[in-house]
Amino acid sequence: MRRIAIVGREPAARGHAERYVRFEDATVCAAVGFDDPPSGTAIPTFESVSDAVTETEADAVDVCGPGSAHVQSVEAALDEEIPVRCDPPVALDTQTVERVEELASNGDGWLYAHSSHRFSRLYERLQRGVESGDIGTLGVARVKRTAPFDRVGWNDSYLGIDRASSPEDALCGVVSHDVDTLHWTFGPVERVFARRRTGDSYAHVHLLLRFRNGGRGTVEATWGRADPPESRVEVEYAGDHGRLRFTEDDASATLKDEHESLDPDPPEDDCRGRLLRAFVDRLHGVERPPAAIGSDGDLLRTAVAVRTSMDEERPVELGEVSR
């Protein structure tokens, strides 16, 4: 049984606690970062990760949201030399990325910071198609969405985004999920150009990516704080042999059989549940945990490049935010 301390706020922490309770080989032993435990639970609460790990002998820490909004908790877990999971982005500045890399490389702890998109059956289908050569050589990968999505089912990837301190940080949190998935499918990014607009009740970003393999990518996202827009997503991967795509209609169709609605995946087997299952499997050694940041260092720095590009309104090469 692996003992996990969770960090975050409702509803993200509650959602993770509900999934862990369905696993036979993991339990939530502590909650950090809020006054009350997730509703419906009797989890003891603590003011810091260090206190939680010391008092409960936690085996790992799960940050229920983007690491960039909980940097102290990510670093504290690695400083305690235990594994930590968080959503991307891990950090939005080079100095923090370097500290996290050093902690993960020099101790027994390790970092798992991938998007739940990687565990979506729709994205997995596209990734398999790309691997099998269905599109040939990538020309352009396009993603367009309104987000964050906080509903049950296929589109709950962005729980915890509202912890972001600014619209720009929130936008980085949203597009980092897509950047992570594109990195997983097409490899490292070498240049980004992010343009954004923000208003009283909305924020919008248009992100241009150039991959190391020569392909291009675009990610366009709109996020409404006061008046969330309708949940929309369009994903298309186009190459010299063909294209693969899906929209929110395809996602909704996975919950319907002709004229009848189907029950959505149980929490432990939706995309976020499968993400947490992968984390627990690594804790048990079923899947080999990362020895260090390794190739994910490029992925961590892509988020820094996106934030830098937003601030400076210019294209940014990954080399500019690397050691």
Query: What local confidence, expressed as pLDDT, does residue 255 receive?
Result: 40
Distance from C-alpha of 179 to C-alpha of 41, rounded to nearest angstrom: 34
Same fold, 2-114+273-292 and 117-264+298-321: no
- In the chain, which residue ranges form alpha helices assigned H by DSSP? 12-20, 49-56, 71-79, 94-106, 121-131, 167-186, 248-253, 271-284, 296-312
Q: Bigger pLDDT: 241 or 289?
A: 241
Eight-class DSSP state of 7: E
Average pLDDT over every residue of 88-107 = 92
Percent of the chain with pLDDT over 70: 79
Is CATH 3.40.50.300 correct for 2-114+273-292?
no
The values of phi and psi at residue 190, to 5°, are: -115, -15
pLDDT bin (cut points 50, 70, 90) of residue 287 is low
Q: Bigger pLDDT: 244 or 250?
A: 244
* Helix H or strand E segment including 141: strand 138-146
- CATH of 117-264+298-321 among 3.30.1490.20, 3.30.428.10, 3.30.360.10, 3.40.50.980: 3.30.360.10
Distance from C-alpha of 276 to C-alpha of 141, rounded to nearest angstrom: 27
Q: Bigger pLDDT: 255 or 128?
A: 128
Eight-class DSSP state of 289: P
The pLDDT tens digits for 158-180 are 555 655 667 788 788 888 999 99
Query: What local confidence, expressed as pLDDT, does residue 258 receive?
Result: 45
Q: How far is CA 43 from the centre of its chain?
A: 25
Distance from C-alpha of 104 to C-alpha of 80, rounded to nearest angstrom: 11
Q: Is the pTM of this model over 0.85?
A: yes
Residue 133 neighbours by CB distance under 10 Å: 11
Torsion of CA 225, 178, 157, 204, to 10 degrees: 10
Burial letters 49-78, b for 16+ CB under 10 A, else e: bbebbeebebbbbbbbbbbbbbbebbbbbb
The tokens describing 168, both together, are 């720009």
pLDDT bin (cut points 50, 70, 90) of residue 13 is confident
Residue ranges of domains in the chain: 2-114+273-292, 117-264+298-321
Burial class (CB in 10 A: 0-12, 13-18, 19+), 252: middle
